[in-house]
Amino acid sequence: MSNAAPPRKAPDQPWRAEGTPDEKRRGAGGGLRGGKWWGLLVTAVIVFLLAYVGLNYLGRGTEPTISYTEFSREVGAGNVAKIYSKGDAIQGQLKSPRANPDGGGDYTKFHTQRPAFAEDKLWQDLSSHGVTVTARPVVQERGLLSNLLISLIPIVLLVAVWIFIARRVGSGLGGAGGMFGRKTPPRPVELRPGTGRTTFADVAGIDEVKGELDDVVDFLKYPDTYRRMGAKLPRGVLLAGSPGTGKTLLARAVAGEAGVPFFSASASEFIEMIVGVGASRVRELFAEARKVAPSIIFIDEIDTIGRVRGGGASMSGHDEREQTLNQILTEMDGFSGSEGVIVIAATNRADILDPALTRPGRFDRVVSVSPPDRGGREAILRIHTRQMPLAGDVDLAQLARVTPGMTGADLANLANEAALLAVKAKQDRVTRADLSEALEKVQLGAERTLVMPEEDRRRTAYHESGHALLGMLQTGADPVRKITIVPRGRALGVTMSTPEVERYAHSEGYLRGRIIGALGGMAAEEVVYGVVTTGAESDLEQVTNIARGMVARWGMSERVGRFSALPSDAQQAYGLSAAPQTLDVIDAEMRRIVDECYEEARQKLRDHRGRLDALAHALLENETLEEADAYRIAGITRLTKDAEA
């Protein structure tokens, strides 16, 4: 079953439609529309060309223009039968054909021009040789009909241009909405219901969200049952969530599951430079949806036009974006009789939407679409790999465990990257190694061919070994999945650590463990070499963010207290949401926590120097260590979930 979005039928139609009933296209007032106009125009052009060719070429011969000298020679030879003269222009006919001096065969009829300076005795020569001087032209010129057809060419072109413009402006009555939109929109894409539709079978990993939408599907399937109980159809459903969580797929699945027409558009496609075009397009879209109701309208990225009004973003308070939003509000309010039309919108910025858009009666339900849990990730991976030949060593459950936080789009990209790697390697199946390599490529970037000095390579090996060893030793740290000193992206080496179970609330011990693990690279360099390098820049950024959150947002400092001193984005709110004295305390507490963790990291590495050396030497030899090999070389038993908790 294809999940691709249906194409737009016309480039100026800002929405796509699927599952609409098969109806004949018709224009306003029964006029000719679409292909009929073009067919009529092409037919008229063909008829005109045939008539023109027939009258002007097939109906007359080839009458060359000869020189006056040649004409005089033929008169003297007695070969001219008759002539017709108008001024100095002469037409004539020969008694015997002569070869055309310019090529192209023989001729009998001709044109010539008598020079003004000629002083010959033309009339005497004509009379002496018995040439008849006629009153009618010897060579018949184009008649009235031919000249009329030729004169109509500019008119036909003007009519064709007028027809094109009239269709664009809606017969001159559409105003701004007609010139840049349409007065009467074309019918939507015609697909039989049930053909090429997306259903809930194509959606996985967000079962709780599907449960929220089951009521909408059931209402669309059995509206009379709800109406008998006095229940009204929800006007709108707002899907809010991170990018790639499947909001668009969910909306299409609702329409496919209910078997109703589905109109989809991006909010930005309604906006034009001319004020009023967006509102006109919204009216057209809802009008089309009402014709085939019950139906679903899906508007993606609605925050483009649904932002809080009155922000002063434009010179006028009534600009194009606000007009478009006002029209959507009016249509959803039911003033236009939008019974049976459900609007589903998607956004990842629900906090900036206008309150009038999210009140009951507009978007009655706000459904949060979160990244999938481990079971959901496994189900999503099975959907995206069902068309791929997988090797026997592929364990999708294990892959789901090591991909926390990844959305459906991320997992689809991961599966596709693994398939591309298998094709490049000329394999007939996608292996576990392909999926592992694809995961590293997606999360860390592609490998870099970087030639490092041996000393830098050894330092990198100890740096990554420090991260890994503390991750193995620290109870609160996430388990180590892979260690590598192969340069990827901006990093010279990477230690991959992901949680064993989904975590929705973090304890102070877990956060301290993450800080200790992040400081392990710098601590290892100081323990082994006595100096630190710039390789810990990203580690320190991570440590700073965690420590700031512990002290200023999550109440994990006795001196700061149990309140949120920096409640919003720390980088923007730092220094704005707290008094200067509080900021000084926050800095001191952050420094205390980080210093304590760094000292603990150095002490543990000193106590386990042999394990640190063993990991570093193995990395220098193999460059990459998988989870089982890393724990075996370090001589550490893998911690269980209960022990970690």
Catalytically active residues are 464
Contact status, residue 497 vs residue 480, Cβ threshold 8 Å: yes
Phi, psi of 300, rounded to the nearest 5 degrees: -90, 150
Q: In what order do the strands lie in the sheet with 480-484?
A: 494-497, 480-484, 624-626
Phi, psi of 96, rounded to the nearest 5 degrees: -125, 140
| Residue 268, CA distances (Å) to 182, 184, 321, 325 in order | 18, 21, 9, 12
CA-CA-CA-CA torsion sign (533, 537, 542, 544): positive
Distance CA 49, CA 110 (A): 27
3-state secondary structure of 55: helix
3-state secondary structure of 138: coil
Contact status, residue 598 vs residue 621, Cβ threshold 8 Å: no
CA atoms within a 13 Å half-sphere pointing along the CA-CB vector of 348: 9
For residue 203, what is the DSSP state?
-
Using alpha carbons, select from 256, 299, 343, 203 the residue that is nearest to residue 19.
256
3-state secondary structure of 555: coil
Three-state secondary structure readout of 566-601: CCCCHHHHCCCCCCHHHHHHHHHHHHHHHHHHHHHH
Using alpha carbons, select from 519, 510, 512 the residue that is nearest to residue 467.
519
Contact status, residue 237 vs residue 220, Cβ threshold 8 Å: no
| Residue 411, CA distances (Å) to 3, 14, 496 in order | 16, 30, 17
| Burial class of residue 47, CB neighbours in 10 A (0-12, 13-18, 19+) | exposed
Residue type, 321: R
Radius of gyration over every alpha carbon of the chain, rounded to an integer in angstroms: 41
Using alpha carbons, select from 487, 489, 500 the residue that is nearest to residue 403.
500
Phi, psi of 346, rounded to the nearest 5 degrees: -130, 145
DSSP 482-525: EEE-S-BTTBS-EEEE--SS--SS--HHHHHHHHHHHTHHHHHH
Distance CA 40, CA 273 (A): 34
Contact status, residue 507 vs residue 476, Cβ threshold 8 Å: yes
Residue type, 357: L
Distance CA 385, CA 123 (A): 99
What the block records as the tokens of 38 is 């073009």
